[in-house]
């Protein structure tokens, strides 16, 4: 979802939105070495603003809503304005861009991304909502079913732009999980549904179990990523005008949660066991590493963080890459964050 902020009113700020750099690979921005701890479980190694307000082959590089590691080790970065970028995993320099569209050639509000084991791309749109399968060159190959209750009103009980934000395959690749950003009508505020699909014959995904996840007050879920042991990294995010962003990283475990797919309304029933979660870090507690913000923030490092990918692991530590969605707004920044996360 595009979290709106107040645009700067000066002519200089408006010019900054359109004075983008020339096309071509962007260098990696240097940040102070060494990083620092955000919490006992999370260390921020560095950040990069190298892609902020740049273009590549005539396409604005920003509005980033999802990240995934491609089969060749490169990064796939999804814009919510219907562009899918290939980035160098080390420098973040763009290498290619693919335009996406729906079945009628219209742009998508593309939010979630997963690279399937055959290299095809599974991409969510938060307006219908939908999950489409695309070829590497951007052709639609398939479309996954969506439960009626998760469709946007009046067909369902969801709100447009508050539906499928996160998307991740679970270990083994036979199950796909998508996270709703916000509660649907009839469920308690802050109770978000996570929907799964199971791979069947012919490789097609059919509807699977569904789970309840409870967010912190006033926050939504912009992204979710499966860890190698079947747990989930969950981003929770919010925005308060004049204060800035709240971004928290949780470790969640769906393995003992109640299947809520046949429960019409989630209102805190005692027999419904939601996904258990443990706070790993509030990113406002991270070291600034010299970062600056273009608008008020509790920590100048923060922005509208919306994308996340697990890029590797080493002795029980996950290497995690985050990215912010700048909404093509001069008061916001496209920023990448490299974290080390201990989940033991």
The pTM for the full model equals 0.91
Looking at per-residue pLDDT, the higher value among 34 and 168 belongs to 168
Cα(324)–Cα(150) distance, integer angstroms:
26
Confidence category of residue 27, pLDDT binned at 50, 70, 90: very low
Q: Tell me what percent of the residues of the chain surpass a pLDDT of 70.
A: 90
Confidence category of residue 315, pLDDT binned at 50, 70, 90: confident
* pLDDT tens-digit series, residues 169-223: 999 999 999 999 999 999 999 999 999 999 998 889 999 999 999 999 999 999 9
**CB 302, CB 284: distance < 8 Å:** yes
Confidence category of residue 1, pLDDT binned at 50, 70, 90: low
**What pLDDT is attached to residue 35?**
84
pLDDT beyond 50 at 272: yes
**CB 115, CB 99: distance < 8 Å:** no
Cα(336)–Cα(341) distance, integer angstroms:
16
pLDDT beyond 50 at 62: yes
CA angle (307 as vertex; 104, 7 as ends), nearest 5? 80
pLDDT beyond 80 at 5: no
**What pLDDT is attached to residue 133?**
98
pLDDT beyond 50 at 136: yes
> What stretch of H or E contains 11?
helix 11-18
């Amino acid at each position: 979802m595009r979290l709106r902020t107040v645009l700067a009113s000066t002519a200089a700020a408006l010019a900054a939105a359109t004075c983008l750099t020339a096309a071509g690979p962007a260098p990696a921005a240097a940040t102070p070495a060494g990083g620092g701890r955000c919490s006992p479980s999370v260390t921020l190694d560095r950040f990069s603003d190298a892609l902020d307000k740049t273009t590549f082959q005539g396409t604005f590089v920003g509005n980033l809503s999802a990240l995934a590691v491609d089969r060749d080790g490169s990064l796939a970065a999804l814009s919510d304005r219907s562009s899918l970028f290939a980035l160098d995993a080390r420098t973040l320099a763009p290498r290619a861009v693919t335009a996406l569209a729906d079945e009628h050639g219209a742009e998508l509000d593309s939010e979630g991304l997963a690279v399937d084991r055959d290299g095809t791309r599974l991409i969510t749109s938060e307006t219908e909502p939908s999950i489409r399968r695309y070829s590497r060159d951007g052709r639609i190959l398939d479309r996954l079913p969506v439960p009626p209750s998760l469709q946007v009103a009046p067909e369902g009980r969801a709100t447009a732009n508050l539906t499928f934000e996160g998307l991740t395959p679970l270990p083994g690749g036979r199950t796909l999980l998508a996270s709703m950003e916000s509660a649907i009508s009839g469920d308690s505020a802050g109770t978000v549904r996570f929907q799964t699909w199971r791979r069947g014959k012919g490789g097609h995904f059919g509807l699977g179990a569904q789970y309840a996840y409870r967010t912190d007050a006033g926050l939504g879920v912009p992204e979710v990523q499966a860890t190698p042991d079947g747990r989930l990294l969950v981003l929770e995010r919010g925005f308060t005008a004049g204060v800035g962003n709240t971004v928290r990283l949780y470790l969640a475990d769906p393995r003992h949660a109640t299947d809520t797919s046949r429960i019409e309304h989630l209102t805190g029933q005692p027999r419904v066991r939601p996904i258990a979660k443990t706070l790993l870090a509030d990113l406002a507690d991270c070291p600034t590493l010299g970062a600056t913000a273009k608008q008020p923030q509790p920590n100048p490092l923060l922005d509208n963080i919306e994308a996340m990918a697990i890029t590797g692991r080493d002795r029980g530590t996950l290497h995690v890459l985050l990215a912010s969605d700048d909404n093509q707004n001069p008061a916001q920044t496209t920023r990448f964050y490299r974290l080390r996360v201990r989940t033991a």
